[in-house]
Amino acid sequence: MNRTAQVWLALGWIGYAVLPWHLTGGLLGDLFGDAGSGLGLGLSGRAWWLLPFVLPFALATLAALAPLGRDTKARLLVLAGAVGLVWFVLQGFAIGLNGWTAAWLAELFGAPGPRQGGMGFGAALAALALLMMLSQGLAAMGWCHGDAFVTATIGVVVALIAVFVFFPVLSILASAFRGDAGALSHEAFTQKFLDRSIWGLDCLASQLRCGVAWNTLFLAVLVGFGTTALGLAFALIATRTAFRYKGLLRVLTVLPIITPPFVIGLALILLFGRSGAVSALLTEWFGLPRSRWIYGLPGVLIAQLLAFTPIAFLVLIGVVQGISPSLEEASQTLRAKSWTTFRTISLPLMQPGLANAFLLGFVESMADFGNPLVLGGNFEVLSTKIFFAVVGAAHDQGRAAVLSIILLGFTLAAFWLQYAWLGKRVYTTVTGKGDAGVPPPLPRRVAWLSYAAALPWAAFTLVVYVIIIVGGFVRSMGRDYTPTLEHFLTGFRIETTPQGLYFAGSAWNSFSATLKVAAFAAPITAAVGLLTAYLLTRQNFAGRRLFEFGTMLSFAIPGTVVGVSYIIAFNVPPIEITGTAVILVMCFVFRNMPVAVRSGIATLSQIDKSLDEASLTLGARSFATVRRVILPLLRPAVVASLVYSFVRAMTAVSAVIFLVSAEYNLATTYIVGRVEAGEFGLAIAYSSVLIVVMLAAILAFQLIVGERRLGRRGTAAVPAPIGNVGVQAAG
């Protein structure tokens, strides 16, 4: 038994015998009272069901101390961990706040039965130790080539995904099969599932509207293709042309990601609405009648293209950069024209990036809530339908769950299509061999096409942001353009009092809570996400596909459903964390992790395994290999996931609207409240403050993580594939 396992055993004993098991009470309250440790509560009879935990810990201690064979010790350790974890789950779910949680238990053992509160420090530490003992034991038995780092990582990530993704999702999906009275029935499900408002195809034959499922699918496909094409255009311009205003372009591609929802929609209305600025000009100059065309598919499509193109760019920039110039040079040496080279070498090598970019655009569009809410008009999509099924006048949670299942189905289909398309081909271009190639300039028609796609889009973004900036500084956008600082003062006034500074503005509370939560969530997201990506690309283990699917699951489910499912799952023991910052952090981590995973996978699939193998051959263990070899090559992905999760934690609405509490209110829910109350000025002013904060954070992440250094030469056409801070900031 190695040192690590022994340390975990010791920690496990501390968690079980010393620290308070439940949430109530202080850190070291009276050990045999209500705030006692697991062992204390078990011995004193207050919680007899905690006593059986002695068995796994004793087994593990036996393995550590007794003179046994290596294999026997490993088996004992595995047995201890498995038995402990199983009992942990059983007792946690069987005994709730008000006694037995299932009717049959109450019937069997008599109601109301024993009670217990949520898990505390002790329980958490003990559970973690059991998990670690299990993975150490499995490694010792030869799993994953006996690599304890790999088994432990798999164990932790699987446990986290099980607790924070599968568990809440299952609890809400169960409600899809509940009828109005609460009893389980598949009739309730079938009836809701086959509703004409979901699957109707009336729009093909008449003026009536099509079903909401078709609307969503159609929109998501358009957005997926649109964002991928635009993102590719930007990535090509940024890496392979001598375009002069790259800096400006990069800023423009960053802005939409760091813009709180509702704001883009609001700006579009102020521009193109019936009373919008552009509409007014068109009426004046060309006599075009003012219309409401922006409300519906066109408006939502424009807003989503604005909002999600940067994500595609973010995925593609790393991929385009990573393509080995040697292959392209070889092609040109063989007399291929630049267009042929682009079509037959560069583009196919970008396939993982293109597929991932499309998938993200598709899924983001499906889950987007703010833009359809503001601009949807009579064009309904699943995400808003789900939100209003939960909070609307009908209050039909079952319907929300049914709609979520449909949404999930679409996402999974996209996921499998992508998998089928990429197949088992190899996209490795970053290898251990020296690669001193020079990327060729873009073929002329590709360059022009890129400019034609990207520049008008950039100009458009610029106009939208001018509106947003102006909106914060005038009395009432669209009506009264008197300049004022009033909105900023309401939100962010600071007064000096004899006791020091007093943050009198109404926005400070939510602002500081948001910063805290985002700062916590970002590094955890990046760490868990990239570790997952590493496991998925570099390790082979049973259930890998299911595991990958699990990581995508929380992303595919719309925020509203995630929010409600988190309350249902985590408001009661064993894991009772509603009303705290923890639930917000966890929600963000598992909602945003898929982006970290995707960008990690995209980057890792370009890095040749021979690099890891070289490191392993030279005697480094997996952990050292990850830290010294893979992590430095992953820097673009690290920055991407840090930035993405930080930004999303500051801009997400639908998932957290149910999770915010009095103490931890978030900026976005505050802004939504302002929009609801019609205070657009304050909403826009607050949003612009958030934008500035996020820009600063992005630069900070960039500085801390640093650049990936690939052994490549710079050229005139590519002034700085290595040192281009801006691109990386964008990613």
Site for other proteins in 371-400 (CB under 8 A): 373, 376-378, 384, 388, 390-395, 397
Window contacting other proteins (CB under 8 A); options: 402-410, 451-459, 605-613, 661-669: 661-669
Tell me the closest approach of the beta carbon of residue 305 to other proteins, in angstroms.
22
Q: How far is the CB of 121 from other proteins (least distance, A)?
A: 6
Say which amino acid occupies 462: L
Q: Which of 244, 335, 425, 479 binds other proteins (CB under 8 A)?
A: 479
| Shortest reach from residue 491's CB to other proteins, in Å | 12
What stretch of H or E contains 494?
strand 494-497
Residue 639 CB, shortest distance to other proteins, in Å, is: 20
Minimum CB separation of residue 408 from other proteins in Å reads 20
Report how far residue 681's alpha carbon sits from residue 684's, in angstroms, rounded to the nearest whole number.
Answer: 5
- Binder to other proteins among 7, 108, 700, 704 (CB under 8 A)? 7
Among 578, 645, 651, 728, indicate the residue that binds other proteins (CB under 8 A). Answer: 578
Q: Which residues between 138 and 177 bind other proteins (CB under 8 A)?
A: 149, 152-153, 156
Task: Find the part of the chain contacting other proteins (CB under 8 A) among 218-226, 453-461, 543-551, 569-577.
Answer: 569-577
- Tokens 């503005």, located at residue: 505
Closer residue to other proteins, CB minimum distance, 384 or 592: 384
Residues from 336 through 375 that contact other proteins (CB under 8 A): 373
Residues forming beta bridges with residue 37, ordered by sequence position: 20
Question: Scanning residues 584 to 603, which ones bind other proteins (CB under 8 A)?
Answer: 585-586
For position 335 contacting other proteins by CB under 8 A, the verdict is: no
538 near other proteins, judged by CB under 8 A: no
- Using DSSP, state whether 490 is helix, strand or coil: helix
Strands 500-503 and 95-96: unpaired
Tokens of 430: 């970053």
Question: Shortest Cβ distance from residue 558 to other proteins (Å)?
Answer: 14
Distances (CA, A) of 588 to 146, 334, 383, 385, 594: 33, 50, 18, 22, 11
Nearer to other proteins, 96 or 137 (CB): 96
Select the residue interacting with other proteins from 297, 319, 405, 568 (CB under 8 A): 568
**In Å, how far are 428, 604, 606, 617 from 609, measured between CA atoms?**
9, 9, 9, 12
704 binds other proteins (CB under 8 A): no
Our finding on whether 518 is near other proteins (CB under 8 A) is no
What is d(CA 581, CA 246) in angstroms, rounded to the nearest whole number?
A: 39
**Cα–Cα distance measured from residue 645 to residue 685, given in angstroms and rounded to the nearest whole number:** 23
Contacts with other proteins, 259-298, as mask; x by CB under 8 A: ----------x---xxx----------------x--x---
How many chain residues bind other proteins (CB under 8 A)?
Answer: 78
Supply φ then ψ for residue 114, to 5 degrees. -70, 155
Q: By CB under 8 A, what part of segment 93-112 binds other proteins?
A: 96-98
Pick from 164, 93, 221: which is nearest to 557 by CA? 164
Report whether 308 contacts 363 (CB < 8 A).
no
Smaller CB distance to other proteins: residue 487 or 674? 674
Residue 470 in 3-state DSSP?
helix
Bridging pattern class, strands 474-476 and 99-100: unpaired
**Given the rule CB under 8 A, which of 122-130, 319-327, 637-645, 712-720 is the region that contacts other proteins?**
122-130
Binding positions for other proteins, 27-56, rule CB under 8 A? 27
Residue 661 found at the interface with other proteins (CB under 8 A): yes
What residues form DSSP beta bridges with 467? none
Which residues between 619 and 648 bind other proteins (CB under 8 A)?
623
Tokens linked to 720: 């700085």
Selected from 138, 306, 467, 564, the binder of other proteins by CB under 8 A is 564
Name the β-bridge partners of 474: 483
What's the CA gap between 503 and 491, in Å, rounded?
A: 10
Would you state the structure tokens that stand for residue 296, as one six-digit string? 């519906």
Smallest separation, CB 481 to other proteins (Å):
12
Among 351, 539, 571, 715, binds other proteins (CB under 8 A): 571
Maximum Cα–Cα distance across the chain = 94
The single residue among 434, 483, 619, 678 that binds other proteins, judged by CB under 8 A, is 678
Residue (187 or 420) nearer to other proteins, CB: 187
Q: What is residue 566's DSSP assignment?
A: H
Per DSSP bridges, beta strands 95-96 and 494-497 are: unpaired
In this complex, which beta carbon is closest to other proteins, that of residue 4 or of residue 428?
4
Q: Is 497 in the site for other proteins (CB under 8 A)?
A: no
Residue 500: enclosing H or E segment and its boundaries? Answer: strand 500-503
**Residue 359 CB, nearest distance to other proteins (Å)?**
28
What is the number of other CB atoms lying within 10 angstroms of the CB of residue 31? 17
Nearest CA-CA partner of 687 in 443, 472, 520:
472
From candidates 23, 417, 438, 695, binder to other proteins by CB under 8 A: 23
Question: Are β-strands 494-497 and 500-503 bridged in parallel, bridged antiparallel, or unpaired?
Answer: antiparallel
Distance of CA 194 to the CA centre of its chain: 31
Residue 560 C-beta: closest distance to other proteins, Å? 9
Shortest distance (Å) from residue 657 CB to other proteins: 6
